[in-house]
Amino acid sequence: MTASETPQSKPEIPPISKRRQQRIREIQDLFDTGLKVSEIAAIYGISERMVRQDKEDGKAFDRALSKTVDQAEFLGREIRSFEQAMRMEWRAYRLATNPFVKVACMRNLIALKEKYIKFLQGAGLLDKVPEQLKITGLPLEDDKIREAAYALLEMVQEKIEKNTEVETF
């Protein structure tokens, strides 16, 4: 590999003044709102080329920031904040004397739990149990497979009937 074939690596975070770093963040925000390069250049009184360079340097900052994130620490903080919010909602429920406030606290608690479960599922920390099972392509002409499939269906039906009997009491 010759020197001309060696990829030129850009430094992770370019040495930039604090003032320019602030401008880079502001430019990123303006891009997120949908402004064009020419409009941003006019706002800051800089060239369009400089706006594009600031945008690229902003990407370098973002990459560097993402490398410093500790996933376990982040997940731990999120879990702790969900649990704290649920404890606070339970406390508000217990202390409430107005029945409407109690209902509101319970709704908040249910919503928090649903969000917490979705968060854990999304992070891969909790498996979601399927509510439906669809099986296609079973060779039911095979006696053993057909008997096993019917046995499974009978077992599921018994379980459903048993659960509905318990709920009616």
Number of structural domains (the chain) is 2
pLDDT tens for 132-157 read: 777 777 788 888 988 888 888 889 88
Q: What percent of the chain has pLDDT over 90?
A: 41
- Is there a contact between 57 and 50 (Cβ–Cβ < 8 Å)? no
The reported pLDDT for the residue numbered 14 is 60
Q: Residue 89's pLDDT band (boundaries 50, 70, 90)? A: very high
Domain final position from 31, 47, 67: 67
Supply the pTM of this predicted model. Answer: 0.46
In a domain, 10, yes or no: no
Q: How far apart are CA 67 and CA 164, in angstroms?
A: 51
Whether residue 150 is contained in a domain is answered as: no
Tell me which residue range forms the domain holding 107: 71-122
Instruction: Kindly state whether residue 155 falls inside one of the protein's structural domains.
Output: no
Residue 118 corresponds to which tokens in the numbers above? 């979705």
CB atoms within 10 A of CB 41: 19
Residue 51 and residue 28 share a domain = yes
For residue 80, is it within any domain?
Answer: yes
Give the domain-ending residue among 122, 144, 159.
122
Q: Could you give the CA distance from residue 83 to residue 89 in angstroms, rounded to a whole number?
A: 10
Shared domain for 54 and 23, answered yes or no, is yes
pLDDT at residue number 162: 82
**113 Cβ contact list (under 8 Å, min separation 6):** 86
Question: Residue 39: pLDDT band by 50, 70, 90 thresholds?
Answer: very high
84 within domain boundaries? yes
How many CA atoms lie less than 13 Å away from 93 in the CB half-sphere? 14
| DSSP one-letter code for 68 | T
Mean pLDDT of 1-11: 50
- Residue 141 is assigned to a structural domain of this protein: no
Q: Is residue 28 part of a domain?
A: yes
pLDDT > 70? residue 48: yes
Supply 115's token pair: 């969000």
More confident residue, 116 or 7: 116
What one-letter code names the amino acid at 163? Answer: N
Same domain membership, residue 111 and residue 91: yes
Give domain status of residue 163, yes or no: no
